[in-house]
Amino acid sequence: MNLDFKIKNLLLICLIFLGVFNQYYSQSQDQRGFKNGADQSELYLPLLKNKTIGVVTNQTGLMSDKNHVVDFLVKNNIKIKAIFAPEHGFRGDADAGEKVKNGVDTKTGIPIISLYGNNKKPKPEQLKGIDIVVFDIQDVGVRFYTYISTLAYLMEAGAENNVEIMVLDRPNPHDGYTDGPVLKKKWSSFVGMHEVPVVYGLTIGEYGKMVNGEKWLKNGVQAKYTLIPMKNYHKKQRYPILDKPSPNLPNDKSINLYPSLCFFEGTQVSVGRGTSLPFQIYGSPWTQGLPYQFTPKPNFGAKDPFLNGKLCYGEDLSTYSKDLRELNLEWLIKSYKSYKNPQQGFFLENLFFDKLAGTDEFRKQIIAGKSIQEIKASWKGDLEKFEKIRTKYVMYQD
């Protein structure tokens, strides 16, 4: 009897191993044939030949051989009149919200125009003489991450000035699912321009198609829009990021936790800017019941971090291994319940939280003590409506 039990156990272990191996093997097989839009130069170089172009990109505009797309285009005699840099700059080293200056790329001598600060949308004179603007940026698939807003403003300017927009598509690390409150138009801002949920389940190229197709640009204009798709991309798979999308999203773990933790940016709780674990920890001086301690200090990614020099109590999520396919509200609710500060409320007085959420309803639900299940149930109707729009623009396997 005991021997039978051992044999059955051994067979079960073998079956589990084979299942895991086959799953890993098929994924690695699929990923071997995978190509970013930038790596499919045979699709876009002929379209750029004898044209004057602009490029919107940053440090993530890399090809599989780690060459930058700007250097590749220069090498292939494509005439680049200007590089347009989004939030965090062309080389990706500016803090969130920091003003990015215009300048010149030292490597190529091409002028750099900032698309952040007071100039989020290219001006007609900045597009003068340009036929096509190529957009190539690694996004993270979350509404309040500002690269999709940069794309929308670029498309608007392109439509108004008869300049074609070409997007070289890249993976979305939060693809294949949708979650969170859908933005209400009243709360539209640079951290959320369109009526989409926090996680919208589209690549940046698909997102641009949706904005164009739904006529969400100002005055309903539509851009001449060309999408260079990826090859062998699957929405439910996860692909390695070639370079960190911004200074405080240094690795896959921070990107995985980002949609759930970014809400803290509208509260008195730090998400670890000014530490070695940004978007992998959270805490504040007023959540002393929580176990982990850290003190934010100025560093490369945060010159003056929130709660600079103050001892914070919170949680370390850097060992959290689950691949999140939904928003985790547990950490936010736990912090709210643990927060004890008679001088200041949990939410920032400027109500930046509502801009991030895209509605004031979420904040009110937390204050009213609604459960996670109740909060998520309240999103369901809007998510179902959005899904009908989203489905029209999906180009890759879900």
The model's pTM is 0.89
Edge-to-edge strand order for the sheet containing 79-85?
103-104, 111-114, 79-85, 52-57, 132-136, 164-168, 225-228
pLDDT score of 233: 97
* pLDDT above 50 for 12: no
pLDDT score of 3: 46
292-294 vs 281-284, strand pairing mode: unpaired
pLDDT score of 90: 82
Closest by Cα among 28, 19, 390 to 234: 28
pLDDT score of 28: 37
pLDDT score of 161: 98
pLDDT score of 104: 87
Closest by Cα among 131, 128, 127, 130 to 115: 127
How big is the chain, counted in residues? 398
SS3 of residue 38 by DSSP? coil
- CA 117, CA 97: separation in Å to the nearest integer? 8
SS3 of residue 132 by DSSP? strand
pLDDT score of 245: 93
Average pLDDT score over residue span 161-175: 98
Predicted confidence band of residue 92 (pLDDT cuts 50, 70, 90): low
More confident call, 101 vs 277: 277
Burial (CB < 10 A; 0-12, 13-18, 19+), residue 147, is buried
* pLDDT above 90 for 93: no
* pLDDT above 70 for 307: yes
pLDDT score of 15: 43
| Per-residue model confidence as pLDDT tens digits over 324-353 | 999 999 999 999 999 999 999 999 999 999
Dihedral, CA atoms, 73, 78, 83, 85, nearest 10 degrees? -40
Average pLDDT score over residue span 105-129: 93
Dihedral, CA atoms, 376, 381, 386, 390, nearest 10 degrees? 80
Q: What is the overall mean pLDDT for the chain?
A: 91
Report phi then psi at 389, rounded to 5: -75, -50
Query: Which tokens sit at 134?
Result: 């190529």
User: Each residue of 98-136: b (16+ CB within 10 Å) or e?
Assistant: bebeeeebeeeebbbbbbbeeebbbeeebbeebbbbbbb
* pLDDT above 70 for 38: yes
* pLDDT above 90 for 26: no
Predicted confidence band of residue 101 (pLDDT cuts 50, 70, 90): low
* pLDDT above 80 for 385: yes
Query: Which tokens sit at 98?
Result: 């920091």
| Per-residue model confidence as pLDDT tens digits over 184-220 | 999 999 999 999 999 999 999 999 999 999 999 999 9
Query: Which tokens sit at 12?
Result: 């079960």
* pLDDT above 80 for 1: no
How many other C-beta atoms are found inside a 10 Å radius of the C-beta of residue 140? 23
Domains of the chain (ranges plus CATH)?
Answer: 41-241 (3.40.50.12170), 252-362 (no CATH)
